[in-house]
Structure 1
Amino acid sequence: MTPEQTAAALPYPALAKAVEALLSDPSVSVPPRTVMPMPGGGNLFVMPATDARVAITKLISFVADNPSRRLPTIQGDIVVFDAVTGQRRALLDGPTVTARRTAAVSLLTAQKLAPRTDGPLLIVGAGVQGRSHLEAFAAGLGVREVWVHSRSAASADALVAHAQHLGLRARRVEDADAALAHCPLVLSTTSAQQVALRGTPRDDAFIAAVGAFTPRMVEWAPQVCRDLLARGTVVVDTRDADHEAGDLLQAGIDVSKLPTLGDVIASPRAVRGPVFFKSCGWAGWDLAAARLISESP
């Protein structure tokens, strides 16, 4: 499938529901992903997963400085197989699935845990994930106002223009830390090569921290993470975050004691704000996307 076909087959609200359904399916099996360093400084990811009907392998590369080469940060494919016969059923565009399923997971978590969903929404990082999260939160939460911050004014302006094209009120902001005081919804979708946020989120904030997915990557200052744990609720996407959640690990937090999104869905609980959701990625989310496409008429 082309990137456009892949995107069309994965509407954000339906994909969020597919992620929720996957988390309650006992037939799902997801082994730890393999991350292999490449000589140029990037990483090669191999991520298999299966349930009773569908099996996948995701094979992607991640090269943080590729934008300087005018190349995508993430490149690769997802191969979908029939889990019973082993026949190949589809070849999906890896970057498109990665962008959409990551945003759908953040959307689902916000639907379950956000103290308030009326915005404004602050997006820090105006790349592919910033765009997919903008689209997901507009489609699934009904967000109508977006503030955008990026180290690149041109990138921020492009995302603002996209938001306005979707019918949203949108503007670029120069100081992301100051904007935290005004935005109950916050998405950090940077390249996570350095701390991007040092400010104090609101008590009624929902934060999805998406950019950092290895121990060395970071978006949020350690003292902010420790403060959020002390006065709010911190949730990780899966137990793989125990050794991947760079923001939390660099803050000295014992990630293994934190609840996962699956825990929250299995046993709904009252949450104390602010809510900080640490997303690291998981092949199960790609399996949910493959299942949704497989079930489409």
Structure 2
Amino acid sequence: MTHPAPSVLSAADTARALPYPALAREIEALLRDPAVVVPARIVQALPGGGSLFVMPAVDARVAITKLITFTPDNAGRGLPSIQGDIVVFDVATGRRVAILDGPTVTARRTAAVSLLAAQKLARRTDGPLLIVGAGVQGRAHLEAFHAGLGLREVWVASRNPASADALVRHAQALGLRARRVDDADAALADCPLVVSTTPAQQVALRAMPALDAFVAAVGAFTPAMVEWDAAICRRLAAEGTLVVDTRDADHEAGDLLQAGIDVAALPTLADVVGGTAAWTGQAARRASGPVFFKSCGWGGWDLAAARCMTRLAP
């Protein structure tokens, strides 16, 4: 008896299978699904400073394993910093049904998580959106916020002016007003939406966001990484609202951990979606200060991508 071969999706195929609004909805559905099980991910250090990530996850219908490498120095080699695949299995039969492009899923599910958080937490969604870091995640967040928020204007800051200009042109091609800014700290005061997607090898932002701002801090996803100044993080904890993507952030949110913040006491995106006591006790503070959403990554987001792909497959 023969079985159909698994679909091997290219980067372009994977992107088409994961439209941002649908993926954000699937992430919200996953956070409400009691059948989801996500073991702790394995992070194996590699010689030369890279890391190997092994991330399984399962629900009642789909099982996945994500295998990717993260090599920060690849930017200087002209290679992607994230490489690998996500293998998707049918739970009932154990059959491998698809192989997704790992970097594409990582970019899109991370941006879709930020989109969902912005849909739930942002007070203004038209912009300007300040994107700090004009790489893969900067582009993915631009596209996600454009597709899911009704964004009208974007400002881009990057250490590499050419990268910033390229992302500005992409935004303009999407029909947005867009420009490059050379001082991200100064721009924060005028932007109700902020996304930081830097390589997180050093502090990139040292100013306070606007009082009505929603910030998605994405770049730092290990305890050693940092994008936001520690003093600013402490001010945000005192004057605004901090939310983390999952409880994995308790030991991975470099920005907050290095600032001495008790991350384990913060509400998660699941608390926001579910309206739990952990969130409702802090929700009133949204009216008086910025919302800072710290995203570190989780295998459940990749499971959501696999679920989205299988639901939309012809």
Q: Note whether the superposition's TM-score is higher than 0.5.
A: yes
Give the AA of the match of 2:218.
V
From 171, 181, 191, the equivalent of 1:173 is: 181
From 103, 111, 121, the equivalent of 1:95 is: 103
From 62, 65, 68, the equivalent of 2:70 is: 62
TM-score (norm 1): 0.99
Give the AA of the match of 1:282.
W
From 92, 102, 121, the equivalent of 2:129 is: 121
User: 1:205, CA displacement in angstroms?
Assistant: 0.4
Give the AA of the match of 2:299.
A
Structure 1, gaps ≥5 residues long: none
Give the AA of the match of 1:27.
A
Give the AA of the match of 2:159.
R
TM-score (norm 2): 0.94
User: 1:128, CA displacement in angstroms?
Assistant: 0.2
Q: Secondary structure at the match of 2:209?
A: coil
Match of residue 306 from structure 2: 290
Q: Does 1:252 align with 2:260?
A: yes
Match of residue 199 from structure 2: 191
The runs of at least 4 aligned residues of structure 1 exceeding 2 Å deviation read 268-271
Q: Secondary structure at the match of 2:264?
A: helix
From 282, 285, 297, the equivalent of 1:281 is: 297
Q: Secondary structure at the match of 1:65?
A: helix
Aligned pairs, how many? Answer: 297
CA distance in 2, matches of 1:134, 1:71: 22
CA distance in 2, matches of 1:20, 1:265: 7
CA distance in 2, matches of 1:187, 1:80: 30
Match of residue 154 from structure 1: 162
CA distance in 2, matches of 1:278, 1:84: 35
Match of residue 219 from structure 1: 227
Q: Secondary structure at the match of 1:197?
A: coil
CA distance in 1, matches of 2:19, 2:100: 15
CA distance in 2, matches of 1:285, 1:293: 12
CA distance in 2, matches of 1:294, 1:143: 28
Percent of aligned pairs sharing the same letter: 75
Give the AA of the match of 1:137.
F
Q: Secondary structure at the match of 1:291?
A: helix
Give the AA of the match of 1:71.
L
Structure 2, gaps ≥5 residues long: 1-8
User: 1:111, CA displacement in angstroms?
Assistant: 0.3
Deviates more, 1:270-279 or 1:127-136: 270-279
Give the AA of the match of 1:134.
L
Q: Secondary structure at the match of 1:154?
A: helix
User: 1:200, CA displacement in angstroms?
Assistant: 1.1
CA distance in 2, matches of 1:16, 1:71: 28
Match of residue 134 from structure 1: 142
User: 1:117, CA displacement in angstroms?
Assistant: 1.2
Q: Secondary structure at the match of 2:202?
A: strand
CA distance in 2, matches of 1:218, 1:32: 22
User: 1:260, CA displacement in angstroms?
Assistant: 0.3
Q: Secondary structure at the match of 2:98?
A: strand
CA distance in 2, matches of 1:62, 1:161: 28
User: 1:258, CA displacement in angstroms?
Assistant: 0.2
Q: Does 1:51 align with 2:59?
A: yes
CA distance in 2, matches of 1:157, 1:294: 36
Match of residue 34 from structure 1: 42
Give the AA of the match of 2:97.
R
Give the AA of the match of 2:224.
R
CA distance in 2, matches of 1:41, 1:284: 26
**Counterpart mapping for 1:229-240 below 5 A:** 229-240=237-248
Residues 130-170 of structure 1: CA deviation (Å, up to 9, x unaligned): 00000000010011100000000011011001001111110
